């Protein structure tokens, strides 16, 4: 099986080499960029890149701007790798459409595990279509339409909506959602879920009301909700 291509973007050569060595040892093809502008140009020239590991603080163009530009063209999974550990920075990243947020210093083995988890879920596109209340999720094409109109979702938003539809009518705790959608033991704040749900509801328009908040617990997709 052909291994995924991964773009590592960081202005520190030592950090790029560390990440590349661990990924290469797993068989991944690794591209490198030392600034945001080079990263965007590399990505646009190699549309088959399967995942991006992106630092925030870089010369020429920072990680936030890189993420904004890439999200205009692609839903490629993005892991933000940064020394900025404040909650507002993490929330900003998720609002821009990143899929994971890892703060430095970090364990390279954990980073590789998260990369593998994201790629595994992204590749396991079953020939399956979920259709509820005018919402159609095509897992093979990785598309979502609402009443026939396609909407753009990030990787995590797509996984979250799919999980809600697969468990319609069932109250889901934040912990259960983290375990299934993030697919690893998440050590961050469960409010990450709330941020993603808020963005997902907004993109779904009126149909976003079908995702009900279960106070003190989590969420439930209720197709009978008016």
Domain range list for the chain: 5-123, 129-221
Q: Which CATH architecture has domain 5-123?
A: 3-Layer(aba) Sandwich (3.40)
> Tell me, what's the pLDDT at 97?
80
In 3D space, the residue among 149, 158, 21, 139 whose CA is nearest the CA of residue 77 turns out to be 158
Which region holds residue 7: left if phi is over 0, alpha if psi is between -120 and 50, else beta? beta
> Tell me, what's the pLDDT at 3?
76
> Tell me, what's the pLDDT at 189?
61
Q: What is the pLDDT of residues 15-55, one digit of tens each?
A: 999 999 999 999 999 999 999 999 999 998 887 898 999 99
Residue 1 has pLDDT above 60, yes or no: no
CA distance 132 to 127: 17
Band the pLDDT of 85: cuts 50, 70, 90.
low
Q: What is the pLDDT of residues 164-220, one digit of tens each?
A: 998 988 899 888 888 788 755 455 566 788 889 999 999 999 999 999 999 888 999
Is the separation of the CB atoms in 93 and 78 below 8 Å? no
Residue 60 has pLDDT above 90, yes or no: no
Residue 86 has pLDDT above 80, yes or no: no
> Tell me, what's the pLDDT at 135?
94
Q: What is the pLDDT of residues 108-147, one digit of tens each?
A: 888 888 898 888 776 654 447 888 999 999 877 778 999 9
- Of 83 and 76, the structure prediction assigns the larger pLDDT to 76
> Tell me, what's the pLDDT at 126?
47
pTM: 0.58
Report whether CATH 3.40.1710.10 matches the domain 129-221: no
């Amino acid at each position: 099986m052909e291994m995924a291509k991964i773009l590592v973007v960081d202005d520190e050569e030592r950090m790029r080499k560390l990440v590349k060595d661990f990924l290469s040892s797993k068989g991944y093809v690794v591209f490198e960029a030392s600034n945001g502008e080079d990263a965007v140009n590399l990505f646009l020239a190699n549309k088959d890149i399967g995942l991006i590991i992106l630092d925030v603080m870089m010369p020429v163009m920072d990680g936030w701007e890189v993420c904004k530009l890439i999200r205009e063209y692609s839903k490629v999974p993005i892991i933000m790798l940064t020394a900025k550990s404040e909650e507002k920075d993490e929330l900003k990243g998720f609002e821009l459409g990143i899929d994971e947020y890892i703060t430095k210093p970090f364990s390279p083995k954990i980073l590789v595990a998260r990369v593998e988890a994201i790629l595994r879920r992204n590749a396991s596109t079953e020939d399956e279509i979920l259709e509820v209340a005018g919402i159609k999720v095509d897992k093979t094409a990785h598309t979502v339409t609402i009443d026939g109109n396609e909407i753009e979702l990030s990787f995590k938003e797509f996984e979250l909506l799919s999980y809600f539809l697969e468990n319609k009518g069932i109250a889901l705790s934040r912990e259960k959602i983290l375990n299934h959608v993030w697919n690893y033991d998440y050590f961050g704040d469960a409010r990450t879920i709330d941020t993603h749900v808020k963005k997902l509801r907004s993109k779904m328009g009126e149909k976003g009301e079908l995702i009900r908040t279960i106070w003190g617990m989590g969420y439930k997709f209720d197709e009978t909700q008016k």
